[in-house]
Amino acid sequence: PGHPSELNSIRGGGGSLSAELDGLVVEEVCGIADGERRTILFVEDHEVMRAIVSDYLEHSVLGGCVSLIAAETLTRARQLMKEKNGRVDCVLLDLCLPDATMDDHIECLRNEWSGISVVVLSAVDNWDFVNQLRLCGIRGFISKKMTMDYNGHG
């Protein structure tokens, strides 16, 4: 299995970011459909992308079901996870962070976040690496290489 098509879900490459987030993060990974409040840790170094996705997750079909915390580095994400005592339901993770190598991501997924649903949201298109992440337990992959039709409400 060299292609990551065996992930629970791979998205991107032509759809809208809002549709990808609705389908993967909301329904499949975090289980928001049951109405329980969930905590999502969003790790993204680009301020604009962080603002767009954060705003969308907080004001979309999720309503009041999401508590969103954001980090701009893997180091900060690890700190937030410790502060929350690991009580995070889902991590939405960018792979290109200023303080992390690909090996750092793999180590974190294997050793620190193994029991948490992780969705990768990244422009990385190295499918061999995405497959390595799948073997480490990521639940899904959303490509940033897609048309972004965000208008404030999806």
Per residue in 66-121, pLDDT (tens digit) is 788 999 999 999 999 999 998 898 898 998 899 998 889 888 888 888 888 888 88
Give the predicted TM-score (pTM) of the model. Answer: 0.75
> 89 with 24: CB under 8 angstroms?
no
Tokens of 52: 């767009």
Tell me which residue of 118, 120, 122, 119 sits closest to 145, measured CA to CA: 122
Tokens of 148: 């972004």
